[in-house]
Amino acid sequence: MKKIVGILILSALIFIPQLVSAGSIDESTTGSTQAKEIRIWPSEAPTNTCYGGDSKPNPSTGLNSATWFNYGDCGDWKIFDVTPNKELRIRASGDSCPSCALGHLNFNIYEYNEILNNWEFVTRYDGPDWYGNRPANIKDNSDFYYTPKYNRIKIEAYGGGFYIEVYGSVITESETFVKNFFPPVVITLLGILLLFLQIKYEIFWHRK
| Tens of pLDDT, residues 84-113 | 999 999 999 887 776 777 878 889 999 999
In a domain, 180, yes or no: yes
User: How many of the other CB atoms lie within 10 Å of CB of 77?
Assistant: 20
Instruction: Kindly report the CATH number assigned to the domain that includes residue 132.
Output: 2.60.120
Overall domain count for the chain: 2
Residues 22 and 74 in one domain: no
pTM of the model: 0.64
In a domain, 17, yes or no: yes
Instruction: Report whether pLDDT(177) > 60.
Output: no
* End-to-end C-alpha distance for the chain, whole angstroms: 20
Residues 22 and 44 in one domain: no
Instruction: Report whether pLDDT(2) > 80.
Output: no
Residues 164 and 199 in one domain: no
Structural domain span for residue 22 = 2-26+174-207
The residue with greater pLDDT, 166 or 129, is 166
Backbone angles phi, psi at 155, to 5 degrees: -105, 120
